[in-house]
A and B are shown apart, each in its own frame.
Chain A
Amino acid sequence: MAMAENPISTAIRSIDRPVLFAAAFIVVILIVGTAYTLITQGNAALLSPTYLLLQLKVSAFLGIVAAGAMLVILLGHIDLSVPWTIAASAMLATAWGGAGAIPVGLLVGLGVGVFNGLGVAFLRIPSMIFTLGVNVVLRGFMVMLTGGFSPSSEPTDLMLLLAKGDVLGIPIPVIIWAVVGIAVSFMLRRTPLGRYMYAIGNREGAVYLSGINTRLVLVAAFAMCSMLAALAGLLIAGYSSKAFQAMGDPYLLPSIAAVVIGGTNILGGSGKLSGTVMGTILIVLLQSVLSVMQMPEAGRQIIYGIVIIAMLLAYGRGSRLRL
């Protein structure tokens, strides 16, 4: 569309376009939102550090989920079990309680991820189908566990601290997000595992014939994805002060949207973590500013969908060499 011929975009190397586009759009959202608050309330509340830090904090939860989702998408797969991985890890962690809560939550994530990975890598079931089934099973499992009796859904003190505390004014979730982001980015750019992930996303058969155990790479990616979802689940439980069944549902589609808006090819093989980070902030900010502007849910959904398509039309077209 018209945005594709934007002179700014053509002047900049295509590889950084997603990040720049997302950044530019974030600025646009802030300007429009601030114009709105200036007119209606006479202040620039959206530009206050408190508001921006709060948005970063909210972004952290989605950002951690999206970082994991990106790893799986890079391989040309997808993980639809994220919602109940989030919920199951948080619910089991709070039910366990005490010092073991966080390790239990992460172990749940690891278990789900390895199971997903085994199904996809060894049984060669399309990931979309297998993880969809795992999501249903997890839901059923949690209904069974929590239906008969009511386990504690109270987060532990440590979970509350990690989700709500701050260090030198920076919320701890943001710090955790940063650490996760740096680690994932380092893994992707500097280690063989990361290189294998990109390679498998492009042509798994060729990687297999290059003497690389592609199945282990797949299992590793799914395990990391689910563990990050579990980590996010623990933080969300802390942030909302309880673990509950539907807590993961609002994270699946936005995390995928954040990944693709950030320039990762949904078919796998290319993408950068910086893009996913920008995509995450964009989505969170868009939702927040629209609700500040008192846009009803219906309107928010519509704008959200249109923004995704517009962003992709602007730079996501034909990004893959097709032969």
Chain B
Amino acid sequence: MAPSPAAPLLQLRNISKAYGGVKALTDVDFATGAASIHAVLGENGAGKSTLIKIISGVTRPDAGTVAFEGREVAFATPQEANAAGIVTIFQELSVMPDLSVADNISITRPPRRLGLIDHRAQRRRAEELLARVGCEDINPIERVRNLPLSRRQMVEIAKALGRNPKLLILDEATSALTAADVERVYGILHKLRSEGLGLLYISHRMHEIKELADTISVFRNGRHVETFPTGTRNDEAIIGMMIGREYKNVYPPKPVRAAPPAPVLEVRNLGWVDRLHDISVTVGKGEIVGLGGLDGQGQRELLLALFGVLRGVEGSVEVEGRPVKPGSPAAATRRDVGMALIPEDRKTEGLMLPMSIGDNISLTALRKLTRGVVIDAGAEKSSIAAMVEKLQIKIGSVADPVATLSGGNQQKVVIAKWLLTAARILLLNDPTRGIDVGTKQEIYRLLRQLADQGTAILFYSTDYDELIGCCDRVLILYGGRVARVLEGEAISEKNIVSASFNLAASEAVPAEAAP
């Protein structure tokens, strides 16, 4: 049964696939073996998703062959691929929130008794699988809706393992995980590898891949560029392969300041139910202040509290010396406050996907663009055009639905709609999640440019590199409190990680011992 080392577990030959006239994959040869972790890298549009869709039976190639375990296969549906032993964890979570954890894990082919679902056996099965991913703390009868995002993703992984995969594909599967969970997932993946599974791993996070993968394949513009063992190429070379040019100056230089800038946003002793405690932070004119720490330590809540979304927020907020108390985003965006929030999930919180690019961009600024009761069509059109130009959003026409854009360009539309309001305080909630390297770079440059023009920026990121590269100061949150403030040279990976686990920089106290 086990494939010999010579014959790879999965072998793609001369695969091509086009959508309409656009070539997504061109003549791709690709192979991956059992008992290995194989990372696939590439910018958005490089063809990674199409590659995965073909392997997992979501779409079929126009030309070429797929062989699995030495036999040629042509899956018509994801179920067929599952049955053959190829299981995919897609980037968009595929859990059903109203169903219990156990129901989710055994959603297809549940254990049965007398033809009906055997709930007790199903619960035991869930307990076993959750234990396998190190999540014994999740109660199988809990509804998935009540779990935080990172736990849901662990349920997703348990669900995939329950299908006994021979080849497990993880498409950005760790994007929502907390650092502790990521460690756990790495442990699981290494264990699965030692059990002989083939693992295909797609991620935008470079340092994850370095730590994890045995082999790396780079894709660009629908072509397979190169496959090489991890450690044989440095970061610059890999990124160069991905973007097809020299990779340098990812982050724009930080300004050197003699004196601290005038404060724009001053937050004192902010608290909210049991999620935020006694948070004080000042963001000066032209400053980029980072929020870091493990995921789910109150960073999102802090941004939402400032933006008026949360109810029952304590403490004081001042904008340019004037106390403000936004009770709604409408109040937070008023001209005398001038906040803007790039939300966590652009698809559900940032955009109206079926509406046009233009309508999405001008939404926040309609009041400004109105003469009497009528929208000034000319002013609207020129404002939109200016934003498309400024952010270099790649579009066919501003009348196209925003859903037709790639993730990176969609995020640019979200940013554009706030730039139109000329906000003086910009709150960003993990804005580069699931975005390709090229667009990320553009966003970093834009943030610095906005800061240089006087905008105060509060920037939450789950990516340490970003915090190190972009921010003038970084607050590490832990359990809803500011655990540490890092500034200047102190913003380093080592400090961020130790503060994230609430360890003092020098001592090595285990994380559990921390309060």
A residues at B contact (CB < 8 Å): 190-192, 195-196, 198-199, 202-203, 205-213, 269-270, 320-321, 323
Instruction: Let me know if A269 and B366 touch, CB within 8 A.
Output: no
Q: Does B349 contact A (CB under 8 A)?
A: yes
- The one of B343, B352, B373, B375 in contact with A269, judged by C-beta atoms closer than 8 angstroms, is B352
Determine whether B52 belongs to the interface, using a CB cutoff of 8 Å to chain A: no
How many residues of B sit at the interface, in one of the four size bands? Answer: 20 to 34
Q: Report B351-392 CB contacts with A as 1/0, cut-off 8 Å.
A: 111110001000110110010011101000000000000000
Once A199-B355, A202-B355, A320-B354 are accepted as A-B contacts, the answer to whether A211 and B364 lie under 8 Å apart by CB is yes
Contacts A205-B348, A209-B343 known; A198 to B355 CB distance under 8 Å?
yes
**CB pair B373 A203 closer than 8 Å:** no
User: Which A residues lie within 8 Å of B401 (CB)?
Assistant: 321
> Once the chains bind, are A321 and B375 in contact (CB under 8 Å)?
no
- Within the complex, the shortest CB–CB distance from A190 to chain B, in Å, comes to 5
Residues from chain B with a CB closer than 8 A to the CB of A208 are 328-329
Knowing that A198-B352, A321-B354 are A-B contacts, what are 5 other residue pairs whose CB atoms are under 8 Å apart, sorted by A's residue number?
A: A192-B370, A199-B363, A203-B348, A203-B351, A207-B352
- Using Cβ atoms and an 8 Å threshold, which residues of chain B touch A190? 374-375, 377
Which chain B residue lies CB-closest to A192? B366
- Of residues 312 through 331 on chain B, the ones whose CB sits less than 8 Å from some CB of chain A are 328-330
- Which B residues, 388 to 427, have Cβ-Cβ distances below 8 Å to chain A? 401, 403, 417, 421
**Bound: A191/B367 CA distance, A:** 10
B417–A210 CB distance below 8 A: yes
- A209 CB contact (under 8 Å) in B341, B347, B353, B359: B341
Cα distance A211–B339 when bound, in Å? 9
A199 to B353 alpha-carbon distance, docked (Å): 10
Bound-state CA distance A198–B362 (Å) is 13
- The distance in angstroms between the C-alpha atoms of A209 and B341, with both chains bound, is 8
Interface flags for B55-85 (1: CB within 8 Å of A; 0: not) read 0000000000000000000000000000000
Q: Please report the number of residue pairs spanning A and B whose Cβ atoms sit closer than 8 angstroms.
A: 82
B333, CB-defined interface residue at 8 Å: yes
Would you list 30 pairs from A and B whose C-beta atoms are within 8 A, ordered by A residue?
A: A191-B373, A192-B373, A192-B375, A195-B363, A196-B363, A198-B352, A199-B355, A199-B363, A202-B354, A203-B351, A205-B348, A205-B349, A206-B343, A206-B349, A206-B350, A207-B352, A208-B328, A209-B307, A209-B309, A209-B329, A210-B329, A210-B363, A211-B333, A212-B330, A212-B363, A269-B352, A270-B354, A321-B353, A321-B403, A323-B347
User: What is the distance, in angstroms, from A102's C-beta to the closest C-beta of chain B?
Assistant: 25
Tell whether, in the assembled complex, residue A269 and residue B351 are in contact, meaning their CB atoms are under 8 Å apart: no
When distances are taken between beta carbons in the complex, the residues of chain B under 8 Å from A323 are 347, 353, 403
> When chains A and B are docked, how far (Å) is the Cα of A213 from the Cα of B331?
9
A269 touches B329 (CB 8 A): no
Which residues of chain B in 264-323 are interfacial with respect to chain A, using CB atoms and an 8 Å cutoff? Answer: 307, 309
Contact surface of B with A, Cβ cutoff 8 Å? 307, 309, 328-330, 332-334, 341, 343, 347-355, 359, 363-364, 366-367, 370, 373-375, 377, 401, 403, 417, 421
Given contacts A191-B374, A192-B367, A212-B363, contact A203 B352 (CB under 8 A): yes
Cβ distance B427 to chain A, nearest Cβ, rounded Å: 11
Q: Is the CB of A210 within 8 A of B359?
A: no
Nearest 9 A-B pairs (CB), nearest first?
A211-B333, A202-B352, A192-B366, A211-B329, A321-B354, A213-B330, A203-B352, A210-B364, A190-B374
Q: Which residues of A contact B349 (CB under 8 A)?
A: 205-206, 209
Known contacts A208-B329, A210-B364, A212-B330, A199 near B354 by CB under 8 Å: no
Query: Of all chain A residues, which has the CB nearest B364?
Result: A210
| Interchain nearest-CB distance for A202 vs B (Å) | 4
Q: A191-B373, A199-B359, A321-B403 are in contact. Are A213 and B353 (CB under 8 A)?
A: no
CB distance from B33 to the nearest CB of A (A): 34
Q: How far is the CB of B53 from chain A (nearest CB, A)?
A: 15
Question: In the complex, what's the smallest C-beta–C-beta distance from A201 to chain B, in angstroms?
Answer: 8
CB distance from A223 to the nearest CB of B (A): 16
Residues of B near A211 (CB, < 8 A) are 329-330, 332-334, 364, 421
Distance in Å from the Cβ of A217 to the closest Cβ of chain B? Answer: 11
Q: Which residues from chain B contact A198 at a C-beta distance below 8 Å? A: 352, 355, 359
Whether the Cβ atoms of A199 and B329 lie closer than 8 Å is no
- B366–A195 contact, CB under 8 A? yes
**Neighbour of A206 across the interface among B307, B351, B367, CB < 8 A:** B351
Q: How far is the CA of A209 from the CA of B304 in the complex (A)?
A: 10
- Chain A residue with the shortest CB-CB distance to B333: A211
> Is A269 a contact partner of B330 (Cβ separation < 8 A)?
no
Closest residue on chain B to residue A193 by CB atoms: B373
A199 CA to B364 CA, complexed, in Å: 11
Cα A269 to Cα B352 in complex, Å, equals 9
Smallest CB separation, A199 vs chain B (Å): 5
Complex interface: chain A residues within 8 A of B330 (CB): 211-213
Q: How far is the CA of A203 from the CA of B334 in the complex (A)?
A: 21
Contact B359 A213 (CB under 8 A): no
Given contacts A208-B329, A213-B330, A321-B403, contact A203 B353 (CB under 8 A): yes
Residues A195 and B348 in contact in the complex (CB < 8 Å), given A211-B364, A323-B403: no
Which B residues are in CB contact (< 8 Å) with A209?
Answer: 307, 309, 329, 341, 343, 349-350
Report which of B353, B375, B403, B417 forms a contact with A195, defined as CB distance below 8 A: B375
Which residues in B have their C-beta under 8 angstroms from that of A206?
343, 348-352
**How many angstroms between the C-alpha atoms of A197 and B208 in the bound complex?**
43
Bound Cα distance A203, B350 (Å): 9
Q: Which residues of A contact B329 (CB under 8 A)?
A: 208-212
User: Is B355 within 8 A of A269, CB to CB?
Assistant: yes
Assembled-state Cα–Cα distance A212/B375 (Å): 16
Report how far A212 CA is from B332 CA in the complex, Å: 10
Smallest CB gap from B367: residue in A: A192
Residues of A within 8 A of B341 (CB): 209
Q: Which residue of B lies closest to A190 (CB)?
A: B374
How far apart sit A207 and B328, CA to CA, in the bound complex (Å)? 12
CB distance from A224 to the nearest CB of B (A): 14
Q: Closest CB-CB distance, A249 to chain B, in whole Å?
A: 34
Residue of B354, B375, B403, B417 contacting most chain A CB atoms (<10 Å): B354
A142 to chain B, nearest CB (A): 36
Hey, which chain A residues are within 8 Å of B343, CB to CB?
206, 209
Q: Give the chain B neighbours of A199 by CB distance below 8 A.
A: 352, 355, 359, 363
Complex formed: what's the CA distance from A196 to B364 in Å?
10
B350 / chain A contacts, CB cutoff of 8 Å = 206, 209
Contacts of A269 in B (CB 8 A): 352, 354-355
Chain B residue contacts of A207, Cβ below 8 A: 352, 363
Quick one: closest A residue to B341, CB to CB?
A: A209
> Which chain B residue has the least Cβ–Cβ distance from A195?
B366
Question: Which A-chain residue is minimally distant from B347 (CB atoms)?
Answer: A323
Say how far B97's CB is from chain A's closest CB, in angstroms. 16
Nearest-Cβ distance from residue A184 to partner chain B, whole angstroms: 14
What separation, in Å, do the CA atoms of A95 and B510 have in the docked complex?
80
> Which residues of the other chain, A, contact B354 by a CB distance below 8 angstroms?
202, 269-270, 320-321
Task: Give the nearest-CB partner of A203 in chain B.
Answer: B352
B199 to chain A, nearest CB (A): 28
Interface centre among A211, A213, A270 (most CB of B within 10 A): A211
Tell me how far the C-beta of A31 lies from the nearest C-beta in chain B, rounded to whole angstroms: 36
B357 smallest CB distance to A (angstroms): 13
Docked complex Cα distance between A270 and B468 (Å):
44
